[in-house]
Structure 1
């Protein structure tokens, strides 16, 4: 066990490493799905990594609380299931910027936060579960298409899940990296020169109706319902009260800075929040903010090196990267299904929402996530309406 003074430092470093390695593949997958080139996706990964690190540093120093900032893994999964919308990549970037503005407004205007809170949690979780279902099937599809190179990743993940659950996703990526290197050696490929250099690429944002309805609104909902609200709840359960307005201003402002660089947004950490705020960060609760500060510093360093990870992923054989992404999201998928079906009276609307989201349909250039939420709300209203006597 680390000493009392070393515990916050080690907890913060572990928090950053787990946050980055467990889901950066999902971020790259989501950005490329909505139209980013590999270089633009690498730029977006670099932007969100550095900004989430800076966000953690700013909030830790400002509040002296162990508040960590993350990218939205469910949001990236939503992008992966959405695909390209009208206007292509510039429209997606415009949607990212709009979400950032909405988050800032949520911190400044209480009525907007109240409006968001009125959306039934069961339907929000069902929409997320439907979006994640497509990605969580990828390990199965990968095993069928390329068993020799996908099977080692799945097997290593299962063993890690048994022996070191917290590190299961990072270890699965490490196994994938070995598979990629072996594949490169056997085919005579290699990493391009300058792969370790950071990469940033500006994109002029534009807004289209399809991007606003198909990306911005669902992404805002997922970010708030699956990241910001649970992030506050996790810290509250550990005895820390997050200052809502500063948190939204820092994460929304950071997201706005990162949008032209391809970043889909930053937000409060939810699942990984306890790593820097829990007992593992030391017995002295007043010093745990050092863990989130350390996490931020390590994340900035990882962000500078993010292009190397993106280059490695781009050279992966068929099925390996989607399998890693699916394995990383499996726990989130199970939690979303559980949340969607927790209340019996919400199960049928939630089931409809989940199925429409999982269908992947796009009508009038608007993604399935929006239609799923709309279908669930309509079904819920009809089922709750009392028939006239």
Structure 2
């Protein structure tokens, strides 16, 4: 029938949303809790992220008829997980989220700033990303030795799915973890129906230079370098001309608007974007936008399960939750390391950036990511 919506992009959109949500929502909750959010504040952040991602994907897809996939920043969540509770509490982290959103907005409105970020050498940007991810990627190994009865079944499921159904490996590991936790608690998760409903929780922002330099700036750089720039490149790879200014401005404004509720970063998808932009979504490039719009609708529906999703965080041992997040990040770590070491001339600077970022050092209120980027730039200058 003419005008009939094909099933292929609908299926691709559903898979994109389910895989994207299930593979990293635990990391989002962990990151928000790490910077001082309560359980309700973390659930609020997850809910707002899903609602904003869904609404933006629907609007951008319908407006430009392109498969523009929107996501939260998975590397950004890893950055928050390593940042730790801020002096003064969660409100300072919220202030950093707001400033990051404003920086993303300015990037969309002022092309010179985006060119400055794009000029950061790829080796340094990916070395920084790898260093931020490494501590979390060690969590599965640590959990396997400290919680073997709980972690080894999860690892077994993950390994089997990596062999036969790679994209479902992390969701499968998450499902195995839920089963293990249910068995461990006898099916009693200590929740009521009311506690499973997500509620919005807003926090007045506060600002401190050390938090802005230690969280807002690296969160902005990592989001641009590992999400927005690769996301735009992927769309161009599949033959699209993405509307750069509207996309960056819209995601930046959405981040700023949701920051008070825990929306730490909203950006272009990079990891799951190929699922809706590639030929698997539809042979006809002009029909693939249906997949990204479908993914947007699914993200909104998944956001309504944010309260239930937090059950894993509050019931399971923290090490198990971190281990699931670490498993989800292993492919990204591998890709980042490969890219960081690809350029032989800049390899030393990339390695310096990586080890400083992974060290977790902090001085003068400034965290390791900023020192890592500075050390990498200095090393690059010295070597050359």
Place the TM-score, normalised by the shorter chain, in its bin: over 0.9
| Conservation of the 8 A alpha-carbon contact between 1:34 and 1:83 | yes
Deviation at 1:196, TM superposition (A): 2.8
- Give distance in 1, aligned partners of 2:9 and 2:377: 44
Deviation at 1:110, TM superposition (A): 1.1
Deviation at 1:383, TM superposition (A): 1.5
Deviation at 1:36, TM superposition (A): 1.0
In the TM superposition, what are the counterparts of 1:1-389 in structure 2 within 5 Å? 5-185=6-186, 189-384=189-384
- Give distance in 1, aligned partners of 2:129 and 2:318: 26
Deviation at 1:286, TM superposition (A): 1.2
| Conservation of the 8 A alpha-carbon contact between 1:90 and 1:206 | yes
TM-score w.r.t. the length of structure 1 is 0.95
TM-score w.r.t. the length of structure 2 is 0.97
Deviation at 1:87, TM superposition (A): 2.9
- Give distance in 2, aligned partners of 1:246 and 1:307: 32
- What SS does the corresponding residue of 2:68 show, helix, strand or coil? coil
Gaps of 5+ in 1: 385-389
Deviation at 1:192, TM superposition (A): 3.3
Deviation at 1:311, TM superposition (A): 2.3
| Conservation of the 8 A alpha-carbon contact between 1:154 and 1:172 | yes
- Give distance in 2, aligned partners of 1:40 and 1:196: 14
- Give distance in 2, aligned partners of 1:245 and 1:86: 35
| Conservation of the 8 A alpha-carbon contact between 2:189 and 2:311 | no
| Cα displacement string for residues 91-117 of structure 1 (whole angstroms, at most 9, x for unaligned residues) | 111111111111111111111111112
- What SS does the corresponding residue of 2:54 show, helix, strand or coil? helix
| Cα displacement string for residues 224-256 of structure 1 (whole angstroms, at most 9, x for unaligned residues) | 000000001111111111100110111111111
Deviation at 1:260, TM superposition (A): 0.4
RMSD of the alignment, in Å? 1.4
Moved more, 94-103 or 313-322: 313-322
Gaps of 5+ in 2: none
**Matched residue, 1:387:** none
Deviation at 1:88, TM superposition (A): 2.3
| Conservation of the 8 A alpha-carbon contact between 1:86 and 1:208 | no
- What SS does the corresponding residue of 2:71 show, helix, strand or coil? strand
- Give distance in 1, aligned partners of 2:367 and 2:156: 34
